[in-house]
Structure 1
Amino acid sequence: MWRVSLVIVFGAFVSMLDTSLVNVGLDSIRNALGATLDAVQWVASAYLIALAVSLPLCGWLGRKVGVGRLWLAAFGAFTVASGLCALAGDIGWLVVLRVLQGISAGLLVPAGQTILGQAVGPKRLGRVMSILGIAVSSGPAIGPAIGGLLLHSLSWHWLFLINLPVGVIGIALGLRYVPRGDRGAVSRLDWTGLVLVSAGLPLFVYGVTMIGEKVTLASVSVLMPLLAGLAGLLAFGFRAWRRAGPLVNLRLFQDRVYAAGSVATLFTGAAMFGAMLLFPLYFQLLRGADVITTGLSLFSLGIGTTLVMPISGWLTDRYGGGIVSLWGNGFTVLTTVPFAFLGADTAAVTLQILLFLRGIALALSAVPAGTAAYAAVRREDLPDATTTVNILQRVGGAVGGALVAVILAQALPEDAEHAFRTTFWWLTGASVVAVGSATWLWLAQRAARADRPIATVVPVAK
């Protein structure tokens, strides 16, 4: 079990690391390839949009070919695409190859979660998911530091070449240890549903992301994709609820624990990814740190998460994801409020202590909610469950990032210190909403346990 878990971590870590690693090198790529600023931004945007496109297909493919085979194929495609990205001679080819890289990366995390869930069962799910959670949460956090160190002495090509040895090792171990999974009977692919969600999800994520850049809903470039994406998602949801053999089984939401865990993941994701955007800007814009210093300053956050994540998994298995997520989100609120009072001259030691404590809070809030949702469904429903929860986390992350970007951009021209204080108050509010969703999950789990029939022992007559 632990061998499989550690192998799956390879895929999760490298796919999440790439979301922030390449962003550091956009300016170097622009200069090397002679591209415009607008064009080079698509190197990052195309990857994120492609991540969203591939998610809805993960559950169907996992049932069709076996989730282990899907994971291996996705990891192989990601590794090959990484090598091809390093060979790209112009910006157009690089963007196209980043799409391929993003599509394969989008399959790695939900496929890995399904493999682990089917391998260990609900009673030990928290412990193994916590190992995967270390990779998912620490990858974006340390990406800027690794990218900055690479660019300090090497060319931009190494932002992609770094994935090759990790990919080769991960695939080799996966061929040996990862179970291939069962090929199940699946209905015909719902092409209409696939088109609706594959267009609706990236359009919605793109529209929400553009809100953070344009700082207005009135812009056509924001409003049109946002409305089109929302319409596509609503149409997909209506079709999937009514259709037999849908692309993604949304009837799982009839289970109150699964529904509460999924919603808690949505709001926790918004608070978590909003903070991931805000903290690097805090060090760069307010404290004047460079990219490498910023990345190193955030290491204490990752250390706190890494140390406590296994404990979080054990607590989830022992007491339930609801109560752990509730305490974790409550602790997140307490570790966010101090930043609303701190200025640019705050001592570095104080900041590191707060970031370490926030890393602990992140470990207690991020994974337990999703784990509770997975534990509430049957083994054969895990491919659909992991797909849906990851989609909700992606949407929540886009909304949280856009919220932070809009609030900060509106207040930044007046006074940087005031702007960050205001934004941290908004981030605190988002964490309070996450506390509310975690409370719902805790109550749903309590009610589910109360509804279980109590086994009685009937004496046998001698």
Structure 2
Amino acid sequence: MTDLSAQHQTPDDHLDKRVLVVAGVVVLGSIMSILDITVVSVALETFQREFNATSAEVAWTMTGYTLALATVIPLTGWAADRFGTKRLYMTAIVLFAAGSALCALADNLAMLVAFRVLQGIGGGMLMPLGMTILTRAAGPERVGRVMAILGVPMLLGPIGGPILGGALIDSASWHWIFLINIPLGVIALIYAFLALDKDHVEPSQTFDFLGMVLLSPGLAMFLYGVSSIPEAGTILDLKVIGFMVAGLLLIAIFVPWALARRNDHPLIDVRLFGNKELTVAVVTLALFAMAFFGAGLLFPLYYQTVRGEDALHAGLLLAPQGLGAMVTMPLAGMLSDRTGPGKIVLGGLTTIAVGMFGFSQLDDTTPYWYLLGCLFVMGLGMGCTMMPTFAAAQATLREHTIARGTTLVNIVQQVAASAGTALFSVLLTNGLKGQESLEKSSKFMAALGVPEDQVESFVADPANQQKVADAMAAAGIEPSAMKDLLASIPADTAAVFSEVFLIASILVLVCLVPAWFLPKSKAEHGAAAPTVLH
């Protein structure tokens, strides 16, 4: 096979067949990892019924996966240098597929959570390894275009996940959301074996054991605290504060250790922040991930809670966002390589803010053509934003820093996305609690003690009139006002969504501040980051 190092020296900046073949391997692995997160989110209600568990208990199927990602991502850079990217990538695929098979065989919730952790160990390595493989294959001068290719699974996951998950659960069973990963894993494994070059591993760098003891648990504890915020309803909860502070303390201790002169090969090379372009790109990416991925959970929830759509149709209604991104992403990747990412990212963020602001004007009867149009506009902006920002960071990396730098970027993106999801969950939950109609309705449901899907028939049964009357009294609802109260719930719920979307729009606009300092010309773009900063 062709020596990839030769491709770094070619003056031709077009993506040749060899790079596209490698990109196919990476995209397939990334689709497995990203799709799985959104597919499982659709099944949470099913898990509650199957395992007779609470929503907080089944949420561990998501939290366990996320914590495994946080633990393994810091190790990926060192492991890639030590064992080679091809070997490690294939190992990650095997772990992910094996974890998927075991998840499908789980007969209780504890087993499912444990096997999701195994899945997360494999899935956590797939994305940073894939970015490392692609960056080495294409070289810094073509990184914008290869990042655009890698953006495909990032778009398809949030859109295709709910559609696929809903279809599999409705037509077969929840087991198939995991079983589908097995044939995908086999194909990806064979593809990787045939397409990726043989590893040429140089003498191993020393392993930063102290860094691992500090950073991996620190990230896991911090993300666990962040993930607990929606359940607690406030950041001031003792468990939330305890885990977040403990995690941040470990991370804070890691930073001076990583910068110490005697630590030649830290687990995460924070010295890379000595490069302006990488630092600005990472800050932009962090704010963007908080705003975009955090607000991303609002769209399907609006469709389901306000408009009464099921998970499958809610997923289908998100498709325009992916279509919009597919229109602009290839062009944005090419222009990013030729002119620098600055102007493109600024334009993309502005476009996203316009589309997001459109959602801040919605109500419970907003026409679907308007909502789909706003999502398409957001997709156009997304295609010009996320992967060019990734590319801005990757373009500063060279052979000896690619694996460690890619790991650094992925950690920031993962932590920021998790923090954003928690932030918008709390904003939405607290907003809904503040609505009088929703508060009374919640009290009525609790006093009634009947599953939501049985309320209508229960209330209509004359034999239950006394219990219904008692429930209304407990909730402070006058019988004459019941009809108006029920009618006001969709409008009041939509009003909360619009307020939270306005906050998301403002946060997207905040991203313009660091994005302004991204390179706006090819001459500024892609200067190598220093390897030492004291």
TM-score range, shorter chain: over 0.9
* 1:170 maps onto 2:247 in alignment: no
1: CA distance, partners of 2:45 / 2:309: 17
* Cα distance change, pair 39–213 in 1 and its aligned pair in 2 (3 A): closer
Where does structure 2 lack aligned partners over 5 or more consecutive residues? 1-18, 436-491, 529-534
Give unpaired runs (5+ residues) of structure 1.
453-462
Measured in 2, the distance between the counterparts of 1:438 and 1:157 equals: 43
Task: Tell me the distance in 1 between the aligned counterparts of 2:107 and 2:233.
Answer: 34
Q: Could you tell me which residue of structure 1 aligns to residue 398 of structure 2?
A: 378
Identical positions, percent: 37
Q: Which amino acid aligns with 1:237?
A: V
Does 2:278 align with 1:239? no
Are positions 1:96 and 2:173 aligned together?
A: no
Conserved 8 A contact 2:396-2:526 = no
What is the rounded CA distance, in whole Å, between the counterparts of 2:391 and 2:374 in structure 1?
27
Q: With the length of structure 2 as denominator, give the TM-score of the two structures.
A: 0.81
Partner of 2:143: 125
Kindly indicate whether the alpha-carbon contact (under 8 Å) linking 2:56 and 2:231 is maintained by their aligned counterparts in 1.
no
Please give the secondary structure, in 2, of the residue aligned with 1:442.
coil
- 1:450 deviates by 12
Deviation at 1:401, TM superposition (A): 1.3
In the aligned structure 2, how far is the partner of 1:405 from the partner of 1:239? 35
1:263 corresponds in structure 2 to 283
TM-score (norm 1): 0.94
Q: CA deviation at 1:10?
A: 0.6
Matches within 5 A, 1:133-152: 133-152=151-170
Q: Answer with 286-295 or 383-392: which moved more.
A: 286-295
Pair 1:438-2:438 in alignment: no
**Residues 289-368 of structure 1 aligned to structure 2 (within 5 Å):** 289-368=309-388
Pairing 1:63–2:81 present: yes
In the TM superposition, what whole-angstrom CA distance separates every residue of 1:358-411 from its partner, at most 9, and x where no partner exists?
A: 111111111111111111121220101110001111111122112211221121
Count of aligned pairs between the two proteins: 451
Asked if residue 288 in structure 1 is aligned to residue 295 in structure 2, the reply is no
In 2, are the aligned partners of 1:67 and 1:182 still within 8 Å (CA)? no
Partner of 2:124: 106
Tell me how far apart the structure 2 counterparts of residues 269 and 73 of structure 1 sit (CA, whole Å).
28
Q: 2: CA distance between counterparts of 1:41 and 1:106?
A: 19
Is residue 391 from structure 1 mapped to residue 411 from structure 2 by the alignment? yes
Distance 2:231 2:341 in 1: 35
- TM superposition shift of 1:31: 2.8
The change in CA–CA distance for 1:401 and 1:45 in structure 2 (over 3 A counts) is same
What amino acid maps onto 2:255 in structure 1?
G
- Change in Cα spacing, 1:377 to 1:239, as seen in structure 2 (3 Å) is same
Report the CA distance shift for 1:141/1:52 in structure 2 as closer, same or farther (over 3 A): farther
Question: Residue 73 of structure 2 contacts residue 124 of structure 2 at CA under 8 Å; is this kept in 1?
Answer: yes
**For residues 130-279 of structure 1, what are the structure 2 equivalents within 5 Å?**
130-242=148-260, 243-279=263-299
Whole-Å separation in 2 of the counterparts to 1:383 and 1:204: 24
Deviates more, 1:177-186 or 1:253-262: 177-186
Q: Which amino acid aligns with 2:509?
A: V
Change (3 A) 1:389 1:282: same
**CA contact under 8 A between 1:411 and 1:418: conserved in structure 2?**
no
Q: 1:408 to 1:32 in 2, by over 3 A?
A: closer
1:458 counterpart residue number = none
| Counterpart residue number, 1:426 | 503
Q: Which amino acid aligns with 1:152?
A: D
Deviations 1:140-167 (A, max 9, x none): 2321111111111111110100111111
Q: Retained in 2: the 8 A contact 1:204–1:230? A: yes
SS at match of 1:377: coil
1:22 counterpart = 2:99: no
CA distance in 2, matches of 1:185, 1:48: 32
Equivalent AA in structure 2 for residue 221 of structure 1: K
Check 1:352–1:449 CA distance in 2 against 1; reply closer, same or farther (3 A cut): closer
Q: Aligned AA for 1:156?
A: W
- CA shift for structure 1 position 431: 0.2
Counterpart amino acid of 1:302?
A: G
Which runs of structure 1 show a deviation greater than 6 angstroms over 4 or more consecutive aligned residues?
449-452
Letter in structure 2 aligned against 1:288: G
> Do the aligned partners of residues 402 and 451 (structure 1) sit closer, same or farther apart at CA in structure 2, a change above 3 Å counting?
closer
Question: After superposition, what is the alpha-carbon deviation per residue over 1:118-140, rounded to whole angstroms, capped at 9, x for unaligned?
Answer: 01101111111111111023212
Hey, what's the Cα distance between the residues in 1 that align with 2:398 and 2:269? 12
Deviation at 1:341? 1.2
1:11 counterpart residue number: 29
Residue 246 of structure 1: SS of its match in structure 2?
Answer: coil
Partner of 2:493: 416
Q: Going by fraction, where is helix more abundant, 1 or 2?
A: 1
Question: Per-residue CA shift, 1:288-319, capped at 9, x if unaligned?
Answer: 22111101100111121223221221121111
Shift of 1:3: 1.0
| Partner AA of 2:283 in structure 1 | V
